[in-house]
C-alpha cells in the first residue's frame, strides 16, 4: 500500500513513480544473459554461485540506474528474510522490491526444473513469490515460462506494465519500531489474561502509525496476518499444529485415529474451558488438512511449523553424528516396514471405490505379512525380511534355499521386539560394517531396551525420527517402498490371473497367496531393485537432507524431487 500527501502538487507524479516498471539496464541485462546461458548449457546453478555472480555484476556498475538489482543483492549479506512464505523483519525498514518480468520468468523456469523451495532458496525470494511467478508465466505465455524467456524485450515490458496496472501500488514499507511496540503491547495484554483480537491489534497499529504521521496506512486484515507471521502469532485454529503432530505420530505408531480420538485429545490440549470439541469440529479439522490426514504425506507436502523445526533439528543431529563417528555412506542406513494387505492391493476394486475416510486407517490393519526393508546411503539395498503370520500348516523360518530373504514368524505378521532383535543380528549387523548409524521411525518395536543394548554392544548408534516427520526424513519413503509395493502388486495380479484364467479385478474370486508365494515375490522384487535402483536410493538420502556435505554444497538437493525421477511414483 502507498500513500501520498493530498496537499502536494506533485502527488500524482510521485504515485506514477511508485508503480513505474523498473527499466531494463545493462546491469540486469548482463545478469539475465548469464542466467540464460547457464540454462541453455544445462549448468546446475547453486545459491552460492548465483550470489557471487550477482555481486560481481553489481560491483561493476557505477551508476544508480538499476535500483531493484542492487537492493536485491544487498539482501544477500543479511539474515534470510524469507522463510516458507513468511516475511520476517530483520532490519529497521524493508523496502519492497519490484522485480522485472524477465527476472520472474527465469525464476519460474528454475522452479519448473527443480522445485519452488529450491528456487526460493537459490534466488533469495519467498516461496509465495515463486508460486505467483509460475502462475504469471503460465497465464501470459501459453507455451510455458521457458518460451517466455525468449520473447522480445518489448513484449516482456508490456506484460510487466499490465501486471503493475492490475496489482496497483505496492504496500507501505514495514516500520519495525511500530511492529515491536505492538508486539510488546500484545505480550503485556496476553500476560494479563486478555489476548487481543485482530480488531484491537488493528486499532493499536493505527494509533502508533498516526503518531508517526503515517495517515495512509489502513492496517487491514492482510496487514494483521503479515504482522502475525513476523512475530509467529498463531491465527485461527491455534491448536491445529499440536493436533496434527499427535495424529501423524499415532498413525506412524500403527494406531488408527477416530473422530472421537481427535475430540478427546483436543479437549486435553484446550486451554479454553468453553471449547467443546464437537463432532462437527473434528470433521472440520480433518477437512482443513486432507493432504496430511486423508492422504499419506510425501516429501513435498507442507508440514506444520512445529514439525518443520523438528525436521531441521533431526537433520542437524544426523549430520553431526556422522561427523563425530567418522562414518562412511555405507554405514548410514534407514529401516522401515512395508505392510502387505492383499485385500486392498487391487486399485479400482470395490473396496477402494468407497468414499475415502477423512482420516486414513493404519496400514497395519488387515495385514497379511510385513516386509522389513533397509538401505544405506551409498545406494545399497539390504536383503529384506518377511514377517509371516504363525501357521501350523506351513513352517517357514530362516532363509529358504536359494533366497536372500530372511523369513520370520509372528502371531499377527507384524514387527515386534523379538523380530526386531533377530533382524538386527541377521541382517543389519551382518551386512553393515560397525560402527554404524541406523535411522528408524518412532514405532514401538524400534525403541525397546534390547534394541538400544544391541547397538551399544556393537559400538553403533540409532536415531529415532520425530513423530510425524517421516515424510521429510525417511529415505525409504521417497521411492523405494512404493517401487517395492508396486512390484508385489504386479506379481499378485499375475498370480490371480494365472489361477482364474479370466480374472476380473471387480470379481469376488481373489486368491490369497501362501507363504511361499509371498517370499518368492519379495525375492524377485529385491533382486530387480537392487540391480537397478541404487542411484535412486543414494539420492533419497540427499533429498531428505540427511547426508548433505558439511560445506553445505549439497543444500540445493534438499527436498528437490527432481533429483529422484521416480520419487513418490509407482514402478
- Give the mean model confidence (pLDDT) for residues 255-269: 92
Are the C-beta atoms of residues 252 and 470 closer than 8 Å to each other? yes
The secondary element (H helix, E strand) that includes residue 283 is: helix 279-288
Which pLDDT value is given to residue 15? 39
What's the mean pLDDT when you consider all of the chain? 78
More confident site: 32 or 543: 543
Select the highest-mean-pLDDT range: 71-85, 382-396, 548-562: 382-396
Task: Report DSSP state, residue 564.
Answer: S
Look at residue 23 and tell me whether its pLDDT is greater than 50. Answer: no
Residue 319 CB partners (closer than 8 Å, separation 6+): 546, 547, 548, 550
Which pLDDT value is given to residue 53? 86
CATH 1.10.10.10 matches 305-563: no
The secondary element (H helix, E strand) that includes residue 107 is: helix 101-113
Which pLDDT value is given to residue 182? 92
Instruction: State the Cα torsion 110-112-118-119 to the nearest 10°.
Output: 40
Cα–Cα dist 407/423, whole Å: 10
Three-state secondary structure readout of 386-449: EEEECCCCCCCCECCCCCCCEEEEECCCCCCHHHHHHHHHHHHHHHCCCCCEEEECCCHHHCCH
Which pLDDT value is given to residue 44? 80
Residue 335 CB partners (closer than 8 Å, separation 6+): 372, 373, 374, 423, 428, 438, 439, 440, 446, 476
Least confident of 77-86, 202-211, 335-344, 443-452: 77-86
- Give the mean model confidence (pLDDT) for residues 562-571: 60
For residue 457, what is its C-alpha cell?
554392544
More confident site: 344 or 34: 34
Q: Is the pTM of this model over 0.75?
A: no
Q: What angle do CA 227, 230, 232 make, to 5 degrees?
A: 100
- Give the mean model confidence (pLDDT) for residues 6-32: 50
For residue 269, what is its C-alpha cell?
490440549
Are the C-beta atoms of residues 438 and 456 closer than 8 Å to each other? no
Which pLDDT value is given to residue 357? 81
CATH topology classification for 174-230 = Arc Repressor Mutant, subunit A (1.10.10)
Which pLDDT value is given to residue 554? 65
- Give the mean model confidence (pLDDT) for residues 130-146: 67
Three-state secondary structure readout of 362-390: CCCCCCCEEEEEEEECCCCECCCEEEEEC
Give per-residue pLDDT as tens, 120-131. Answer: 888 988 888 888
351 band by pLDDT with thresholds 50, 70 and 90: very low
Cα–Cα dist 527/149, whole Å: 45
- Give the mean model confidence (pLDDT) for residues 21-48: 74
198 band by pLDDT with thresholds 50, 70 and 90: confident
For residue 171, what is its C-alpha cell?
504496500
The neighbouring-strand residues paired with 97 are: none
Which pLDDT value is given to residue 421? 93
Look at residue 394 and tell me whether its pLDDT is greater than 60. Answer: no
305-563 shares the fold of 174-230: no
Look at residue 22 and tell me whether its pLDDT is greater than 50. Answer: no
All structural domains of the chain with their residue ranges: 11-167, 174-230, 240-293, 305-563
The DSSP bridge pattern shows strands 385-389 and 93-94 to be: unpaired
Residue 155 CB partners (closer than 8 Å, separation 6+): none
Give per-residue pLDDT as tens, 397-450. Answer: 555 655 689 999 999 999 999 999 999 999 999 999 999 999 999 999 999 888
For residue 33, what is its C-alpha cell?
544473459
For residue 319, what is its C-alpha cell?
549430520
Amino acid at each position: 500500500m502507498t500513500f501520498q500527501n493530498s496537499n502536494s502538487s506533485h502527488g500524482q507524479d510521485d504515485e506514477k513513480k511508485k508503480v513505474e516498471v523498473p527499466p531494463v539496464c545493462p546491469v540486469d541485462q548482463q545478469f539475465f544473459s548469464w542466467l540464460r546461458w547457464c540454462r541453455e548449457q544445462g549448468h546446475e546453478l547453486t545459491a552460492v554461485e548465483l550470489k557471487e555472480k550477482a555481486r560481481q555484476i553489481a560491483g561493476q556498475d557505477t551508476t544508480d540506474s538499476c535500483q531493484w538489482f542492487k537492493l536485491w543483492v544487498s539482501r544477500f549479506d543479511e539474515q534470510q528474510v524469507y522463510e516458507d512464505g513468511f516475511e520476517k523483519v530483520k532490519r529497521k525498514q524493508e523496502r519492497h522490491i519490484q522485480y522485472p518480468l524477465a527476472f520472474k520468468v527465469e525464476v519460474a523456469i528454475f522452479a519448473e526444473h527443480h522445485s519452488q523451495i529450491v528456487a526460493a532458496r537459490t534466488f533469495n525470494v519467498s516461496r509465495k513469490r515463486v508460486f505467483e511467478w509460475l502462475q504469471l508465466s503460465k497465464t501470459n505465455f501459453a507455451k510455458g515460462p521457458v518460451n517466455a524467456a525468449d520473447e522480445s524485450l518489448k513484449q516482456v515490458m508490456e506484460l510487466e506494465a499490465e501486471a503493475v496496472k492490475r496489482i496497483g501500488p505496492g504496500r507501505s514499507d514495514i516500520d519495525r519500531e511500530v511492529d515491536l511496540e505492538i508486539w510488546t503491547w500484545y505480550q503485556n495484554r496476553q500476560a494479563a489474561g486478555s489476548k487481543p483480537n485482530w480488531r484491537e491489534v488493528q486499532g493499536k497499529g493505527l494509533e502508533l502509525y498516526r503518531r508517526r504521521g503515517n495517515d495512509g496506512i489502513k492496517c487491514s486484515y492482510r496487514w494483521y496476518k503479515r504482522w502475525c507471521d513476523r512475530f509467529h502469532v498463531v491465527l485461527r485454529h491455534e491448536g491445529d499444529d499440536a493436533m496434527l503432530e499427535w495424529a501423524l505420530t499415532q498413525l506412524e505408531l500403527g494406531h488408527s485415529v477416530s473422530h472421537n480420538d481427535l475430540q478427546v485429545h483436543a479437549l486435553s490440549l484446550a486451554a479454553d474451558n468453553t471449547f467443546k470439541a464437537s463432532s462437527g469440529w473434528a470433521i472440520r479439522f480433518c477437512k482443513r488438512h486432507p493432504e496430511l490426514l486423508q492422504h499419506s504425506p510425501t516429501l513435498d507436502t507442507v508440514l506444520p511449523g512445529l514439525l518443520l523445526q523438528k525436521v531441521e533439528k533431526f537433520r542437524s543431529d544426523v549430520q553431526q553424528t556422522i561427523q563425530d563417528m567418522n562414518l562412511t555412506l555405507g554405514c548410514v542406513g534407514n529401516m522401515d516396514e512395508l505392510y502387505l494387505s492383499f485385500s486392498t492391493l487391487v486399485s479400482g476394486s470395490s473396496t477402494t471405490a468407497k468414499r475415502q475416510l477423512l482420516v486414513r486407517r493404519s496400514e497395519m490393519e488387515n495385514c497379511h505379512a510385513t516386509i522389513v526393508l533397509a538401505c544405506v546411503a551409498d545406494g545399497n539395498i539390504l536383503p529384506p525380511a518377511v514377517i509371516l503370520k504363525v501357521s501350523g500348516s506351513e513352517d517357514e523360518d530362516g532363509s529358504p534355499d536359494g533366497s536372500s530373504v530372511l523369513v520370520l514368524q509372528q502371531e499377527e505378521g507384524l514387527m515386534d521386539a523379538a523380530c526386531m532383535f533377530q533382524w538386527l543380528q541377521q541382517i543389519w549387523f551382518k551386512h553393515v560394517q560397525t560402527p554404524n548409524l541406523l535411522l528408524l521411525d518412532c514405532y514401538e518395536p524400534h525403541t525397546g531396551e534390547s534394541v538400544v543394548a544391541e547397538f551399544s554392544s556393537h559400538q553403533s548408534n540409532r536415531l529415532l525420527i520425530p513423530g510425524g516427520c517421516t515424510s521429510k526424513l525417511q529415505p525409504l519413503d521417497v521411492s523405494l517402498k512404493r517401487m517395492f509395493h508396486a512390484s508385489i502388486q504386479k506379481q499378485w495380479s499375475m498370480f490371480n490371473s494365472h489361477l482364474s484364467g479370466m480374472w476380473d479385478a471387480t470379481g469376488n474370486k481373489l486368491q490369497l497367496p501362501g507363504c511361499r508365494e509371498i517370499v518368492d515375490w519379495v525375492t524377485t522384487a529385491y533382486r530387480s531393485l537392487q540391480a537397478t535402483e541404487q542411484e535412486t536410493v543414494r539420492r533419497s538420502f540427499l533429498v531428505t537432507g540427511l547426508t548433505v556435505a558439511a560445506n553445505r554444497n549439497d543444500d540445493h538437493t534438499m527436498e528437490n524431487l527432481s533429483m529422484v525421477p521416480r520419487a513418490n511414483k509407482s514402478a
